[in-house]
Amino acid sequence: MITTSRPVSTLSRFLERLSVGGLATSVIWDFDGVLAETEPLHEASYAKVAASRGMTLHANWYLPLIGNTEEHNWMTLIAAGLQADGNDLPKLAAQRRKVFASLTSQRLQPTWLAASLIPAFAQLGYIQRIVSNGDLTLIRTAVKEWRVAKMVEVVDRARAIDKLTLLLEHAGPGVVTFDDTDRYIEAAKTAGAYTVGVRHSHNSHFQLAADEVLAL
């Protein structure tokens, strides 16, 4: 496994490995923690909404929730004592969306992976898809603002409860996947994809047993 960070030489070597090795003709991106470093903002927004309902969260409470759907995360917090029930999910999600928007007072910035690799892959003619459990409206807005909307498709999650189903529809030999969560890396690798783990401030507890690891 190769672990690297952001220098231009890293980008060049990475693209060369994929091209020379014939490792990929298409790309699957995760969004949160990969194309945008949003996990600290998600953590803060969940915590603020939970606090408004009288819940104090323990240290590292957010780490097990990374990579899951909003519904899953709220139901986990409800099971842990949040004063709400399943009927409150739309209200909780709407409240958190407002808090999240307030935390991103300026537009969401792309990571170096998004800024460098999406255009590079587009130039190589790779098909690129974003498969995420995140807010698809936010994701579509971000890629439009980054001017890469024509280079990458945001896959609609309406047909699946979890992104795992969609990931397995598209992952396989000739596909490279970028993810920050162990279970999706493992699933993509089992399907035959070339896997890239992404290391950031909120996933040091993950092994990221990918073919290689890039750091934000």
pLDDT of residue 99: 92
Which range, of 7-21, 125-139, 159-173, 193-207, averages the lowest pLDDT? 7-21
pLDDT of residue 2: 37
pLDDT of residue 160: 55
Q: How confident is the model at residue 4 (pLDDT cuts 50, 70, 90)?
A: very low
Q: What is the domain partition of the chain in residue ranges?
A: 2-38+108-215, 39-103
Mean pLDDT of all residues in 76-82: 95
CA atoms 175, 71, 54, 102: torsion sign: positive
Question: What backbone phi and psi angles, to 5 degrees, belong to 144?
Answer: -70, -45
Intrachain domains 2-38+108-215 and 39-103 with the same fold: no
Strands (E), 48-152: 127-130
Residue 156's closest CA among 146, 165, 148?
165
The whole-angstrom separation of Cα 134 and Cα 119 is 22
| Burial call 172-206: b when 16+ CB within 10 Å, e when fewer | eeebbbbbbbbebbebbbebebbbbbbbbebbeeb
> What are the pLDDT digits (tens) for 95-152?
998 998 888 766 688 999 999 899 989 988 899 999 999 888 889 999 999 999 999 9
Q: Are 186 and 209 in contact (CB under 8 A)?
A: yes
The whole-angstrom separation of Cα 24 and Cα 20 is 10
Indicate the class that CATH gives domain 2-38+108-215. Answer: alpha beta
Q: Tell the CATH topology of 39-103.
A: DNA polymerase; domain 1 (1.10.150)
Q: How confident is the model at residue 44 (pLDDT cuts 50, 70, 90)?
A: very high
Residue 127's closest CA among 15, 27, 14, 22?
27
